[in-house]
């Protein structure tokens, strides 16, 4: 939202004031700690096309056990990498259409979509609603046929 100077413990420092949309929280982070806090700039509009290519790509092989799959996806989301987030959204969208999701995976899917939509919102100058609708339209184009067949999976392992 802004950069401002504040005095904390007798020291003046520049702070980034950040609004986190998906939980309506405002956070202040010292500028010099931005990298350590995992903050990065919003992706450029041309990178959005690469993110959309990930969303439209073929799903990656996931663990069959839901708890391992959940941990795998959670670890990807924790990286903060937009391409990893897009991969999680894509894989969960395909799995949701194909077999359904556990309650935990449904919550993760919703959270991952919010993260991705907020990135699209800033990168493309969308409103929050426009970004969400845009993402839902992209996901609506994903078909279960994208999921690799068992024969394709066996061939890729061989």
Nearest-angstrom CA–CA distance, 135 and 51: 11
Q: Indicate if 53 and 110 belong to the same structural domain.
A: yes
Nearest-angstrom CA–CA distance, 106 and 9: 43
Angle (CA) 63-65-68 rounded to 5° is 65
Dihedral (CA of 95, 59, 42, 140) sign: negative
The sheet carrying 11-20 orders its strands as 2-8, 11-20, 25-30
Q: Indicate if 112 and 148 belong to the same structural domain.
A: yes
Please report the pLDDT score of residue 155 as a whole number. 41
Q: Kindly state whether residue 39 falls inside one of the protein's structural domains.
A: no
- CA 88 to chain CA centroid, nearest Å: 7
Q: Kindly state whether residue 40 falls inside one of the protein's structural domains.
A: no
Q: What is the CATH number of the domain that holds 118?
A: 1.20.58.1290
Query: Rg (Cα) of the chain, in Å, rounded?
Result: 18
Please report the pLDDT score of residue 144 as a whole number. 40
Residue 13 bridge partners (DSSP): 6
pTM across the whole model: 0.74
DSSP-based three-state secondary structure for 32? helix
Q: Indicate if 116 and 151 belong to the same structural domain.
A: yes
Q: Kindly state whether residue 38 falls inside one of the protein's structural domains.
A: no
Q: At what angle do helices 103-124 and 66-78 cross, to 10 degrees?
A: 20
142 with 55: CB under 8 angstroms? yes
Q: What is the pLDDT along the chain (158 residues), one digit of tens a residue?
A: 788 888 888 989 988 888 776 667 888 888 888 777 777 777 888 899 999 999 999 988 888 888 899 999 999 998 889 999 999 999 999 999 888 888 999 999 999 999 999 889 889 989 889 999 999 999 987 754 444 444 444 444 44
Domain that holds residue 129: 45-157
């Amino acid at each position: 939202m802004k950069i401002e100077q504040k005095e904390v413990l007798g020291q003046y420092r520049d702070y980034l004031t950040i609004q986190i949309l998906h939980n309506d929280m405002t956070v202040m982070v010292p500028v010099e700690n931005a990298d350590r806090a995992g903050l990065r700039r919003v992706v450029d509009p041309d990178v959005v096309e690469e993110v959309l290519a990930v969303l439209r790509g073929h799903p990656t092989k996931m663990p069959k056990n839901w708890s391992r799959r959940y941990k795998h996806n959670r670890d990807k989301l924790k990286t903060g990498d937009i391409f990893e987030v897009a991969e999680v959204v894509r894989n969960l969208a395909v799995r949701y259409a194909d077999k359904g999701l556990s309650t935990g995976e449904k919550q993760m899917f919703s959270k991952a979509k919010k993260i991705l939509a907020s990135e699209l919102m800033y990168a493309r100058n969308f409103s929050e609603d426009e970004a969400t609708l845009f993402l839902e339209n992209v996901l609506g184009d994903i078909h279960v046929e994208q999921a690799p067949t068992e024969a394709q999976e066996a061939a890729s392992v061989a």
